[in-house]
A = this chain, B = another copy of it.
């Protein structure tokens, strides 16, 4: 490893901080990945790294060196940082001494085709115009957990390379195919493949445990404020609601998504028994 960066004015450090801004991410096609778990998942998934900043004093585990070697072997420059320099780079409460500049994956719908080609009943998530990075990241984490074949982020509000998406996804952004596309092209793509759109909306007549979700489905969710757009509601093949027993009329978008995703999995794994909620 080369000598330690001790100056907050170091140009590489300053550049990495800039990547916390969306405009710089868009312009450069680069983004930040922080944390052992996230970096390990990214490295294993073949993400390309430019620069890895390390601060051994902050390491929490014992496997850091192997990961550093893996990322260096992939062609990245590895830079040692003083603790106060690393803290300037970090956007976490508890930095663990690893943060990297990586190349955006930029997958398109075409990349999903091969993935679902072998699936009898593809299982997808559509996240339309989600605003909060934490919600988008949590949706990705739940999508990974429920074994979806891919997530299509439509008409993005927050970009999937936002540091808080990476963090809330705990690196599942790298382990599931995540594609960005417009709603228009996605709608056409789904129709061509006979994948049913399942919209979650309080105005639905059926409850989420009542609709047959065992076929090829794309579970679609919309913005925190107003839900799915008209375009998606119009084409939805299935509309489901989540029963609400309190004063509020909706759930957090990531928790609502997770309930529907796990209902799809339950029907696929436990049989098709459907439920009416009394």
By a beta-carbon cutoff of 8 Å, the part of chain A in contact with chain B is 41, 134, 138, 141-147, 168, 170-172, 175-176, 209, 242-248, 251-252, 254-255, 258-259, 262, 265-266, 269-271, 273, 275-278
Contact with A142, one of B143, B168, B252, B271 (Cβ below 8 angstroms): B252
Known A-B contacts A168-B252, A246-B175, A247-B175; A270 and B259 likewise in contact (beta carbons under 8 Å): no
Residue pair A145, B209 in contact (C-beta under 8 Å): no
CA distance A269 to B251 in the complex (A): 19
Question: Which of chain B's residues have a CB closer than 8 A to the CB of A170?
Answer: 248
Residue picked from A255, A259, A278, most chain B C-beta under 10 Å: A255
Q: How far is A171 from B258 in the complex, measured between Cα atoms in Å? A: 22
How distant is the Cα of A134 from the Cα of B259 in the complex, in angstroms? 18
- 8 tightest CB-CB pairs across the interface, nearest first? A147-B245, A144-B246, A270-B275, A255-B258, A175-B247, A138-B252, A269-B277, A145-B244
Contact A145 B269 (CB under 8 A): no
A141:B251 contact, CB within 8 angstroms: yes
Tell me, rounded to whole Å, the shortest Cβ–Cβ distance linking A101 to chain B.
Answer: 23
25 contacts across the A-B interface (CB closer than 8 A):
A41-B247, A134-B134, A138-B252, A141-B251, A141-B252, A141-B255, A144-B248, A145-B246, A145-B248, A146-B245, A146-B246, A147-B246, A170-B248, A172-B247, A172-B248, A175-B247, A242-B262, A254-B254, A255-B255, A255-B258, A266-B277, A269-B277, A270-B278, A271-B275, A273-B273
Say yes or no: A255 contacts B142, CB within 8 Å: yes
Residues of B within 8 A of A145 (CB): 242, 244-246, 248, 251
- Cβ–Cβ < 8 Å partners of A252 in chain B: 138, 141-142, 168, 254
